[in-house]
Structure 1
Amino acid sequence: MPDVPLSEVAALARRNDPDRFFCALFAPPERRETLFVLIAFNAELARARQVASNPMTALIRLQWWRDALGEVQAGNPVRRHEVSTPLAEAIRQGHLDAAELHAMVDAREAEVEEDVPSRGALLAYLRGSAGGFAVAAGRLLGAPAESLGALQTLGAAYGMAGVLRSLPSQAMHGRCLLPADLLAERNLTPADVARDPRQPGVAEVGRQLAEEGLALARDGKAKLGRLPKGAIAAALPGWLAARDLKRMLAKGWDPAQPPHPRGLGDRLAVMWAGWRG
């Protein structure tokens, strides 16, 4: 079969979030494009802090998305943007819920703060950001209401793996999302880690969080039950999370090194879970 060219928003999703893009390929064709829109929207929220030169600029970027969502809810014309335009259409068609998207924007404000003060604050951020994405994806794909909590937990596990995988990138930008209270137990501050993630104690904190993330992944899987075939794509990032977190718990993991590149084993794990349903 000839390759089908990707839409603009699908290409954005693949470029900015290849993990979730790959998982989205297991969604029903009639819902796949909207899932790409959700992935692209989430990537825009993640970029708000990544590309900002200072916290105020990041907050302005997040407010831009709040305003865009508010325009949709009010029935007003939506500002033209490669993501906001299809996002507005998905909301108006009832495929995505504006309130859930607002909550995803709010959760990203934790990235703008000077540091993440505690383990509890980190978990709240993960449940609202990556967990919020998983809930929105599950609802879009027709997951039963009773499965949404488990999907949020799986999403939080994927978010935890993402925080730990991105430690070198965070340091390059002078940032650290590790909880300040856990670092303080090792006489470290987030600023110390941002300067040099190779310092003694950073890997220990990382492994502690990896254990917690792996527990989230296992708990989410245990409580998920059997999703309808069409909704399994919402849960698949949790399988990648479990593989990543196990790597971080293996001997020799170095939080200052770039993350393990995606390989055939990762893709096969997602494919197997997707085909099994």
Structure 2
Amino acid sequence: MAETPDPTSLAEFARRHDPDRFLCALFAPAGSREAIFTLIAFNHELARAREAAREPMMVLIRLQWWRDAVEEAVAGKPARRHEVAGPLSRAIGAGSLDPAALLALIEAREADETGEEAVPLLERLRGTAGGLAAATGRLLGAPDTSSEGLRQIGTAYGVAGTLRSLPALAAQGRDPLPEGEDPVRAGQALARKGLEVLESGRKLLASLPSRAVAAALPGVLARRDLQRVLRPDWQPGAPAAPRGAGDRLAVTWAGLRGRA
């Protein structure tokens, strides 16, 4: 039988690899947190596929491995021996995670590899970061009418994350900004677009139940990050500042109020 980490280990995995979403997950009902940590860990493994294998074909093979893991869990087969595949199989079996949503996250990553140049950045982020936010809301019991708003908020968080990661992306030979344009102007134009998407998403979430607010909390960080990019002294090549007390307090205040 495959070994699976206990919830504490899974939470630590999420905290270590995705501290932003881990912090937001702490404001979800206690009984839902393990499923959210599993979803965060699953998303991390999908994102890591490109970091671990630079060649598109190898990335697709890694993503197929996760597709098989999801489909095997749906079929009731034993979980694969992996620190995330075990909890993932258990969550699918318990009905905590929607297999269709998980497969959609994989498909978004596959599209990223097979047609990256043809697919606009915002559309790709809508499928990845946006899809993750929508899936989180679903497992927290958010109504279907909230899905689009959460997807837009997740997309905005993806935009902010992309801008925070520009130096790392450049080191990998990946530049999401338009070629030939001034990087500061291009980055700030993207930030303004991200803020527009964020505001559009927030307007759609007027009736989001407080139990699902954790799914929207990344938008709090997105707003702060995107506003930093619009400052006159922003430089795309400079490493992003580490999260500070202000960021954590902003999330905490929104989480305690139940409004993002």
Is TM-score (shorter-chain normalized) higher than 0.5? yes
Give the drift of 1:43.
0.6
Unmatched runs of 5 consecutive residues or more in structure 2: 1-5
Query: Partners in 1 of 2:71 and 2:80 — Cα distance?
Result: 11
Task: Give aligned-pair identity as a percent.
Answer: 55
CA contact (8 A) 2:7 2:34 kept: no
CA contact (8 A) 1:168 1:258 kept: yes
Distance 1:34 1:255, change over 3 A: same
Query: Partners in 2 of 1:144 and 1:171 — Cα distance?
Result: 39
Query: Partners in 1 of 2:221 and 2:117 — Cα distance?
Result: 24
> How many pairs align?
253
Output the aligned Cα RMSD: 1.6
Cross-structure match for 2:224: 243
Give the drift of 1:176.
2.1
1:202-242 deviations in Å (ceiling 9; x for gaps) = 12111111100011111111111132221110000011001
1:137-163 deviations in Å (ceiling 9; x for gaps) = 001111111111100000000001111
Give the drift of 1:75.
2.3
Cross-structure match for 1:224: 205
Cross-structure match for 1:160: 159
Query: Partners in 1 of 2:230 and 2:117 — Cα distance?
Result: 22
Cross-structure match for 2:31: 30
Runs of 4+ in 1 over 4 A off after TM superposition: none
Cross-structure match for 2:143: 144
Structure 2 letter corresponding to 1:163: T
Unmatched runs of 5 consecutive residues or more in structure 1: 187-200
Match of 1:254 among 218, 235, 259: 235
Query: Partners in 1 of 2:165 and 2:114 — Cα distance?
Result: 17
Query: Partners in 2 of 1:31 and 1:168 — Cα distance?
Result: 35
Query: Partners in 2 of 1:53 and 1:145 — Cα distance?
Result: 37
Give the drift of 1:124.
1.6
**Where do residues 86-235 of structure 1 align in structure 2 (5 Å cutoff)?**
86-112=87-113, 115-117=116-118, 121-178=120-177, 182-183=178-179, 186=181, 201-235=182-216
CA contact (8 A) 1:170 1:176 kept: yes
Query: Partners in 2 of 1:74 and 1:231 — Cα distance?
Result: 29
Query: Partners in 2 of 1:133 and 1:52 — Cα distance?
Result: 22
Give the drift of 1:94.
1.2
